[in-house]
Each structure stands twice: as C-alpha cells, then as structure tokens.
Amino acid sequence: MSKPIEKLKKQLIEISEVVNAFRSEAVQVKVVDKLLDAMIEFERGDAEGLEFLHRKSGKTKNGTEPGAYSAVIGRKKPGATKVLNQLLNTDFFKKPHSISGIADYCKEHYDSEFKTSELSGILLKLAKENKLKRQRNNENNRFEYVGI
C-alpha cells in the first residue's frame, strides 16, 4: 500500500480507540463529526481557532478551559431542543400551534430553520413529559401543541 493509505489507516486505528470508548452511538457520531470538521478546516489552512488540536494544558488563547469545543467547530445556532425549551419559557405556547407554525416562528424569531421532522420528535417528548399538551385540530385533523 502507498504511504498516504498507511498513514490514514494508522490514524483511523488511533481514532477508533478513542471513539469506541464512548458507549453511546450518538456521542460517537458527534465526536467523529467534530473531528472531521476540524480536520477539514485544518486542511484548508484555516487553522485559526483550532489551537485545541495542539494545546497541552491550561487555558487556551481565547480563555476557555481545556476540552472545551472551539466556537469554530461547534454549531453557531442553537439546536431545536434548545430553541423549543426557550419557547416554553415564553408566552408562545399559550395558544395552540401546529408544527409548521412553530417552525415558521423559529425561523422568524430565532433565525433557526428547522424541518418539521426535526421538531416533531422533540415536541412529542415534551408532551410526554407534560410540558406541553398535544391535541388534534378539528378543522384540519393535525396535531397542535399548547402549554399546560
């Protein structure tokens, strides 16, 4: 085999030991995703903000603790769960809203564009946790969510 393939194989073996240390497959996927994003940024030569790849201990240049993800690597916008939990603390759910209505509101007020499929599972979970009430709309036979 060629040298680049051997090098890649060695790197993958090293990475697999670290990734497999996590029990949750979801966590493993996130770790690999963050690592690949960092590698892509590094390959592009846009290594500014990726000092966590080379640091040993202590605080980084931007003052974060070791092990903290750089803002360049992390997601800049909050995820669907975070946005929905923020909406729970407002008056938004005083009136019933459909999933598409919630998605539109998130797009307008939180600058976060979510598919309805991204929101549906989280909304169902919130309903099962009795944080929201899930009810059918008699006019269009679709589910709506309202605060309890």
Name the residue with higher pLDDT: 69 or 140. 140
Judge contact between 84 and 123, C-beta under 8 A. Answer: yes
pLDDT of 36 over the 80 cut? no
| Percent of residues, the chain, with pLDDT higher than 70 | 76
Q: In what order do the strands lie in the sheet with 143-147?
A: 97-98, 143-147, 132-136
> Using CA atoms, how far apart are residues 110 and 75, in angstroms rounded to an integer?
14
> Using CA atoms, how far apart are residues 52 and 74, in angstroms rounded to an integer?
13
Question: Partners of 143 in the beta sheet?
Answer: 136
> Using CA atoms, how far apart are residues 83 and 64, in angstroms rounded to an integer?
24
114 and 134 part of one domain? yes
Judged on CB neighbours under 10 Å (0-12, 13-18, 19+), 144 is buried
95 and 28 part of one domain? no
92 and 140 part of one domain? yes
CATH code for position 88? 1.10.10
pTM metric for this prediction? 0.49
What's the domain count of the chain?
2
Judge contact between 66 and 118, C-beta under 8 A. Answer: no
Tell me what the pLDDT averaged over the chain comes to.
78
Lowest mean pLDDT among 47-61, 113-127, 132-146: 47-61
Q: Mark which of 45, 74, 103 sits at the end of a domain.
A: 74
16 and 59 part of one domain? yes
Structure tokens belonging to residue 15? 């990475």
70 and 115 part of one domain? no
Q: Mark which of 74, 104, 120 sits at the end of a domain.
A: 74
Distance of CA 141 to the CA centre of its chain: 31
Q: Which domain holds residue 48?
A: 1-74
